[in-house]
Amino acid sequence: MSTSGVIKLGDSVGLYGHIHLSDVLGTAELDAFGNALIPYTSATILKLSFTETNVVSLPGVGIGSFDIRTLGVVYFRDLDQPGKMIRFTYPCPSLGDFDHIQYVGHRMSKPKGDALAALFSALTGKNLQFSEGSIT
């Protein structure tokens, strides 16, 4: 069985963005994650959706201060799978969550990144650690 969640967001000029999440434990965890994500984005969360899918293998077959296209990009280490990184992107990141570093750009602060890693861990049931975050 495969599970996923989608969070639909909108900005102040009527553009939309989506966050696609895999390995979501359930609707309660997705709802909690969506509510906890509010301080991290200046977009409005419009809709949450959860999907459970039975995967069948077939042999041989393979609203805010930023434009909705501006993305926060965060990387987490999966502590149960050494060397594995998980990338999480979301639209309209809140600028206050990032420190500006001259000649480098914006980097997510460690406290915000650690909090987001804890939220993402609770959502997926994985043991994740914040690595780095930036704005693109």
Residue 62's pLDDT is 37
The whole-angstrom separation of Cα 102 and Cα 60 is: 50
Rounding to the nearest 10 degrees, give the CA dihedral for residues 87, 21, 136, 65: -150
φ/ψ (deg, to 5) at 132: -165, 160
Residue 74's pLDDT is 97
Residue 120's pLDDT is 92
Residue 33's pLDDT is 95
Residue by residue, pLDDT tens for the chain (136 residues) are 789 999 999 988 888 999 999 999 999 999 999 999 999 999 999 999 999 988 666 565 434 555 778 899 999 999 999 999 999 999 888 888 999 999 989 999 999 999 999 999 999 999 999 999 999 8
Closest to 116 (Cα-Cα) out of 95, 131, 99, 101: 131
φ/ψ (deg, to 5) at 79: -70, -15
Residue 61's pLDDT is 42
Sheet holding 44-53, edge to edge: 16-22, 2-10, 44-53
